[in-house]
Structure 1
Amino acid sequence: MVENFRLRSVAAAAYGPAALFGLSEGAVLPVIAPSAIERGAGTATAALIAAMLGVGSLVANIPAGVLTTRIGERRSMLVAAAVLAGGVLICRVDLGRGPWSLLLYGSGVVLIGAAAAVYGLARQSYLTEVAPPHMRARALSTLGGSTRIGVFLGPFAGAAAMRFAGLPGAYYVSLAAIAAAAALVLRVPDLEGAGSAHAPVVTTRAMLKRQWRVYATLGLGVLLLSAIRQTRQTVVPLWAAHIGLSPTTGSIIYGVAGAVDALTFYPAGKVMDRYGRHWVAVPATLVLGTSFLLMPLAGGATLLTVAAMVMASATGSARAS
């Protein structure tokens, strides 16, 4: 299977659900900060709640690995869909303005982040094993690209729904997309070769002890790079709200930036396959830092869109790396 591997051979099973899962996330991401503000949060509190996405992902990463090993990739995808749907539904419960409403909303955001961790690991573990080394970067970056295509479409779908249903419209789009992703996963059997039931059991403690040098060097770099690129999910919607743009306009700007993000995944994968990851990671980090310098200069929708597009070009390459 490795010798005859083609990206299109896993399109329906791996990339289809990825795009729908991304669409579900993309519909919600731009409205997290405005929803928190609507519930009485200040700018700092809204940023903290938006950052709960990363907290949920971080907390769920190791359990996601254990879950995928025990129940398999397909069932893990279904668990991720259920958790994401639960998080979105919790976010829709409105207790009015106040700390309890914000606490409940934040818990829903944490679940959305946790679902993303479970889903991401389930698909990546399969592609890492089945793709040959000379195509692995392209296979994984295409997986990320499929998700980002969904993330690109999600804000536009959410913005269209908000024209008729207000902020709740974005959550309705998210629920519809994750239901479609779950339905597709249910119809697609586990991919052949996506793991082995006889694989040796390795504990987390033993893995950390054996690979501590990797985690202390490469792992630290990945941590810092991930922290930087994750800020786009928070900074763009928050700055849009700060300069008085509507949630619908903020979603459209986020979606335009998502198009740039999605266009970078395959070229970045080819560069990594040919020259190595550092040729993508280092320039992406420099461009990302520049985009943060541009953001405070954005006083309207046009400049904010430009800054968001620059940021997205870097996060797309960084995510692929």
Structure 2
Amino acid sequence: MRVSEPAVPWRQLLPTALVPNVLHGCGQGAAMPVTLLAAKALTGSSAAAATVTALLTVGQLLLALPAGWLVGRYGERRVMLLATAVTAAGGMTAYLAHSVWLLAGGALVIGSGAAVFTMARHTWVTVAVPAPVRGRSLSALAGATRLGLFAGPLLAAAAMRLTSGVHGGFLVVVVACVPLAVLVGSAPFQEAGCDGAGDEAAPRVLRTVWERRRVLLTLGLTLSVVSTMRTTRRILVPLVGTAVGLDEVTVTVVVGLAAGLDFSLFYAGGVVTDRWGRVAVALPALVVFGVCHLGLAFAPRLPFAVLWFLGSTALMAIANGWSGGVVPTVGSDLADPRSPAPFLGSWRLATELGPSVAPFAVAALAGALSLAAACAAVAALAALAALLLPAHARRHLPRRTT
């Protein structure tokens, strides 16, 4: 007799994870293109703009392990409230910035807040959701983020128009944090990550990094390329957009519309993740990311450059939406269900390493060679990860999830 599959606990996830993710994604969706455009306006350099924007992901990398400790000791609700306050402070700092250094500081703080918020939310869903529907649940979570990422750039474009300046887009980051804090403070969820370990939480996080180093250095770093593609896409799409002749507001609108395409496929990707395995989602996404980065590399030199740019951007958005939940789903597969926070912090450290380093590599390549060279290098990275992924997945993942 076939056992019925458990249902996704939508009623439980809606106030505790899905709606908060929409609001959080809205702020993050505004922060990436606005930081890039504001940095370019202050410096006049694409390489410098990419470097400043990279601090959004560097902040996430720096707080990956501390976030696991914070969630393990204080629980999801308090940590999410703290992260929301930090993000709002970073957004206000960036809004008021009249120098590239202050803008960089604001970007670093926004990224730090995002890391802590994401870690707390991931821990909660890992514990609250049955394993057979984990892919759909985390993909729905990614879809909620995509909805916010869709709205964020569009709201940022409107704010830039209203304030007559690029920095006005950072007000979206600040304003989104207000209802987010209210919702998280009142949401009816039980704490899942706070296990009362107290001062032992920090050593346990570090011990987990060492004990699970093989899976982190192989499967973790390989899957980090999926996250890396999302980061390089957010940097390279606006830069290539300006290279093909689009103005700043139009580029911001294109980024927002691409985020709408992200949203359209999130649940389909989750269903495939649960039914046919994690590789069935991650591998095609890596291939599409690689091909489309090559499209961005050649777009400014081809006839109908804007159409090549829009086509590459749209296909990357589809791949991004399709694969939205696969990286956190694999992390949840590998985590100890009794105390997931220590491993999930380690997993985020591994999977955020690529997104944190790649923007600096993009900046270096764009400055030393060309924007096209940076796009081509990212495409080569995607191809390498696609070759390595199947073997690492077979080695480390449970057979039913591969």
Same fold (TM > 0.5):
yes
- 1:156 is aligned to 154
1:143 to 141, 144, 151: 141
Secondary structure of 1:194's aligned partner: coil
TM-score (norm 1): 0.91
Shift of 1:83: 1.2
Secondary structure of 1:39's aligned partner: helix
Structure 1 residues 113 and 27, CA gap change in structure 2 (3 angstroms):
same
Q: Is the 8 A contact 1:229 1:318 kept in 2?
A: no
Give the gaps of 5 or more residues in structure 1: 96-100
Q: Is the 8 A contact 2:62 2:112 kept in 1?
A: yes
The one-letter code matched in structure 2 to 1:292 is: H
- 2:176 is aligned to 177
Structure 1 residues 107 and 196, CA gap change in structure 2 (3 angstroms):
closer
* Corresponding position: 1:9 with 2:12: yes
**Superposed CA offset, 1:178-204 (max 9, x none):** 212112112224x12623535685612
Secondary structure of 1:319's aligned partner: coil
The CA distance in 1 between the partners of 2:118 and 2:125, in whole Å, is 11
Structure 1 residues 198 and 182, CA gap change in structure 2 (3 angstroms):
closer
Structure 1 residues 196 and 162, CA gap change in structure 2 (3 angstroms):
closer
- 1:94 is aligned to 97
Shift of 1:317: 2.6
* Corresponding position: 1:36 with 2:35: no
The CA distance in 2 between the partners of 1:115 and 1:40, in whole Å, is 26
Shift of 1:301: 4.4
Secondary structure of 1:197's aligned partner: coil
The CA distance in 1 between the partners of 2:234 and 2:66, in whole Å, is 24
* Corresponding position: 1:313 with 2:318: yes
**How many percent of aligned residue pairs carry the same amino acid?**
36
Secondary structure of 2:97's aligned partner: coil
Shift of 1:117: 1.0
Q: Is the 8 A contact 1:291 1:311 kept in 2?
A: yes
Secondary structure of 2:193's aligned partner: coil
- 2:237 is aligned to 236
Aligned residues: 314
Q: Is the 8 A contact 1:33 1:46 kept in 2?
A: yes
Shift of 1:23: 0.7
The one-letter code matched in structure 2 to 1:6 is: P
Shift of 1:93: 2.4
- 2:112 is aligned to 114
Shift of 1:9: 2.5
How do residues 30-109 of structure 1 correspond to structure 2 at under 5 angstroms?
Answer: 30-95=33-98, 101-109=99-107
Structure 1 residues 168 and 220, CA gap change in structure 2 (3 angstroms):
closer
Structure 1 residues 283 and 129, CA gap change in structure 2 (3 angstroms):
same
Q: Is the 8 A contact 2:262 2:321 kept in 1?
A: yes
Give the gaps of 5 or more residues in structure 2: 327-402
The CA distance in 2 between the partners of 1:53 and 1:283, in whole Å, is 27
Secondary structure of 1:109's aligned partner: helix
The CA distance in 2 between the partners of 1:74 and 1:196, in whole Å, is 10
- 1:98 is aligned to none
Secondary structure of 1:138's aligned partner: helix
Structure 1 residues 198 and 31, CA gap change in structure 2 (3 angstroms):
closer
**Superposed CA offset, 1:192-245 (max 9, x none):** 262353568561232123212211221121223322221112111222233342
The CA distance in 2 between the partners of 1:57 and 1:68, in whole Å, is 15
* Corresponding position: 1:126 with 2:124: yes
Structure 1 residues 5 and 294, CA gap change in structure 2 (3 angstroms):
closer
The CA distance in 2 between the partners of 1:148 and 1:120, in whole Å, is 14
Q: Is the 8 A contact 1:56 1:114 kept in 2?
A: yes
* Corresponding position: 1:220 with 2:221: yes
Q: Is the 8 A contact 1:130 1:193 kept in 2?
A: no
The one-letter code matched in structure 1 to 2:113 is: A
**Superposed CA offset, 1:63-98 (max 9, x none):** 111111111111111111111111111112233xxx
**Superposed CA offset, 1:112-148 (max 9, x none):** 1111111111111011011111111111111111111
The CA distance in 1 between the partners of 2:185 and 2:111, in whole Å, is 22
The CA distance in 1 between the partners of 2:281 and 2:287, in whole Å, is 10
* Corresponding position: 1:304 with 2:305: no
For the aligned residue pairs, the C-alpha RMSD in angstroms reads: 2.0
Q: Is the 8 A contact 1:88 1:108 kept in 2?
A: yes
The CA distance in 2 between the partners of 1:86 and 1:264, in whole Å, is 33
Q: Is the 8 A contact 1:148 1:258 kept in 2?
A: yes
Q: Which runs of 4+ in 1 moved over 6 A?
A: none
The CA distance in 2 between the partners of 1:82 and 1:266, in whole Å, is 30
